[in-house]
Chains A and B, each alone.
Chain A
Amino acid sequence: MNLFELQDVSRSYGASNREVRALNGVSLCIPGGEMLALAGPSGSGKTTLLNLLGLLDLPQGGRLCFEERDTARMTERQRASIRRCRLAFVFQTLNLIPVLTAYENVEYFLVKQGPTNGSARKCALEALECAGVTAQAHCRVSDLSGGEKQRVAVARAIARNVDVILADEPTAALDQKTAGQVIELLRCLNRQRGTTIVFTSHDPHILGHADRVIFLRDGRIQTQ
Chain B
Amino acid sequence: MMRRALLAIRVASRNVVRNRYRSLYAFATISIGAAGLLIFQGFNHGLMNQYRANTIRARWGHGQLVVASTTPREGHTNAAHAQPAQKGINLSTSLLDGLRSLPGVAGIFPRIPIQATLIHGNEALVGRGEGIDGAAEARFFDQLNYVSGSDFGADAQGVVLGQGLASGLDARVGDAIRIAVQGPEGKVRSAQVSVRGIFHTGSQEFDSQAFRMPLALTQELLGTDRVASISIGLSNLDQWPNFAKEVKLRYPALQAVPFDELDRVYYRHAVDWLDAQYAFIRGVIVIVVFLAIFNVISLTVAERTPEIGALRANGESKGEILGNYFLEAALLGLIGGGLGIVGALALVAGPLHHGIAMPPAPGITRSFRILIEPATYDALQVVAVCLATALTGCLLPVWRASRIPIAEALRHA
A residues sitting closer than 8 Å to B (CB atoms) are 48, 51, 54, 56-57, 76-77, 80-81, 83-85, 87-89, 91, 93-100, 104, 107-109, 111-113, 117, 120
Contacts and interface: CB of A to CB of B under 8 A. Distances in A.
Contact of B4 (A96, A98, A112): A112
Q: Chain A binding site: helix, strand, loop or mixed by DSSP?
A: helix
B313 interface: yes
A80 B315 contact: yes
12 contacts: A80-B315, A88-B314, A91-B313, A95-B310, A95-B313, A97-B307, A99-B11, A107-B7, A108-B7, A109-B314, A111-B7, A117-B3
Contact of A57 (B7, B18, B311, B406): B406
A109 B315 contact: yes
Contacts of B406: 51, 56-57
B317 A111 contact: no
Interface secondary structure of B, over-half rule: helix
A48 to B, nearest CB: 8
A81 B315 contact: yes
Given A108-B7, A111-B3, A83 B314 contact: yes
B264 interface: no
B316 interface: yes
B353 to A, nearest CB: 41
Contact of A89 (B4, B310, B318): B310
B306 interface: yes
A77 B311 CA distance: 15
Q: List the 4 closest A-B pairs by CB distance, nearest first.
A: A84-B315, A99-B14, A56-B406, A83-B315
Nearest to B16: A99
A83 B312 CA distance: 8
Nearest to A117: B3
A98 B306 CA distance: 12
A112 B315 contact: yes
Nearest to B307: A94
A112 B316 contact: yes
Given A56-B407, A117-B3, A94 B314 contact: no
Contacts of B242: none
Interface residues of B, number: 26
Interface of B: 3-4, 7, 10-11, 14-15, 18, 306-307, 309-318, 320, 405-407, 410, 413
A112 B407 CA distance: 22
B11 A100 contact: yes
Contact of B18 (A51, A56, A76, A99): A99
Contacts of A96: 310
B141 to A, nearest CB: 65
Contacts of A95: 310, 313-314
- Among the interface residues B311, B314, B410, which one has the most CB atoms of the partner chain A within 10 A? B314
Contact of B312 (A80, A91, A112, A120): A80
A54 B306 CA distance: 16
B274 to A, nearest CB: 45
Contacts of A117: 3
Contacts of B314: 83-84, 88-89, 95, 109
Nearest to B17: A99
B410 A108 contact: no
A54 B413 contact: no
A102 B44 CA distance: 52
A212 to B, nearest CB: 24
A160 to B, nearest CB: 8
Given A57-B405, A94-B307, A108 B11 contact: yes
Given A88-B314, A94-B310, A111-B4, A99 B410 contact: no
Given A51-B407, A91-B310, A108-B11, A80 B413 contact: no
B317 A80 contact: yes
A170 B176 CA distance: 108
A100 B316 contact: no
